[in-house]
Amino acid sequence: MPLSQPKGGLEDVVATSSAICYLDGDRGVLAYCGYDIHELAGSATFEEVCYLLWHRRLPTRAELGDLQSQLAAARRLPEPVVRLMRSLPPVDGMDALRTLTSALAHYDPNGADMSTEGAYRTAVRLTAQISSVVATWGRLQAGGGIIDPDPVMGHAANFLYMLTGERPNSTAIRAFDVALTLHADHELNASTFCGRVAAATLTDIYSAVVAAIGALKGPLHGGANADVMRTLLELGQTATAERVDDFVRGKFARKEKIAGFGHRVYRTEDPRATHLRRMSKDLGKRTGNTAWYDMSERIEALVKSEKKLNPNVDFYSASTYYMMGIPIDLYTPIFAVSRISGWTAHILEQYANNRLIRPRADYIGPAYPQRFIPLEQR
């Protein structure tokens, strides 16, 4: 029986049922377990969002405190992993993250525990330690000494502290906390689907997360915000409006894409971009330098007017991270610092009601049957 013809890239193909993330691309709706992203970004902490994704409900004060304690206890990296980090050659941040996440599995005494409780414990541990890996990697790459996590600080504050060596102010903490919330999950994006496919084989969580990291590394998934910031830096902080316009129109003339625009799902503005735009503007005002925001706003206006494309989550996150002093090489790894919450939520969901994910392919090769010709007659 012939198979139905799928769209390229499995577009609009429903691959599974999930209770984690709701998307309506036509209306620009993103919700975690029924909670609109705008409400979560405005009111919840990233730790609350983690609990929500893992348990499908918001935590009580006691439950949140317990999770915060579990994250604090797991945040310090095993010393052998730190030594491995120091020994790596100069590599991209995502390459380092892929290797170091795999190494973390060897130092988790409960990493092979696939029970419901064991898998959840690993999800918490990975969420804590991937943040520490990225922050410590960034610290070492900048030539700084390793900063131990502070058990009193929350997740966002600890990342910034371990990265910079300075205790972050409340504005930076809140901005980064919101950024983590906005990136926490996004239904069956490429990396999440990759993680679920791996988990469906009943491999361990570490292996499934490494698979997801490999997918996120690809430039068609992660990395657009780094490309956005490189574009802004190429234009220069003192770029005039005319230079910006000429640059963008030159891209159009050469049929080159502008990084940070368009989305596979959304037909209206990416709801995450709404918050990041405001954060970029506010950080610019607070630091006394709105050049990066102003430039981004002008690019957005031109792309929207001439190409009818809206900015996605990556566009304004670039200038937001840059004004927080975060190195460009860490932009995509930071995506993983947040998305590990969604990845593990989907992996846990897959384990709970598992069936091996094994789609079919639409065969378009030579007609069957082909007659085999002996080697000496070819």
Query: Rounded distance, CA 68 to CA 82, Å?
Result: 23
Amino acid identity for residue 65 in this structure: G
CA distances 315 to 201, 228, 258, 295, 335, Å, are 35, 6, 10, 11, 13
SS3 (DSSP) at 311: strand
| Rounded distance between C-alpha atoms, residue 163 and residue 144, angstroms | 9
Amino acid at 135: A
CB-CB neighbours of 374 under 10 Å: 6
- How deeply is 312 buried, as exposed, middle or buried, from its count of CB atoms within 10 A (0-12, 13-18, 19+)? buried
Q: What is the C-alpha separation between 186 and 20, in angstroms, rounded? A: 9
User: For residue 267, what is the DSSP state?
Assistant: S
Helices (H), the chain: 37-43, 46-55, 61-74, 79-87, 93-104, 116-141, 155-164, 170-183, 190-199, 205-217, 224-235, 241-253, 271-287, 291-307, 313-323, 331-352
Compute the distance between CA of residue 120 and CA of residue 113 in angstroms, rounded to an integer. Answer: 10
299/295 Cα distance (integer angstroms): 6
What is the Cα–Cα distance from 95 to 131, expressed in whole angstroms?
15
Give the separation between CA 136 and CA 161, rounded to whole angstroms: 10
Q: Which two tokens stand for residue 29?
A: 């709706």
**Considering only CA atoms, which of 355, 49, 345 is closest in space to residue 187?**
345
DSSP 261: B
Cβ atoms within 10 Å of 242's Cβ, excluding its own: 8
Please give the positions annotated as active site: 263, 314
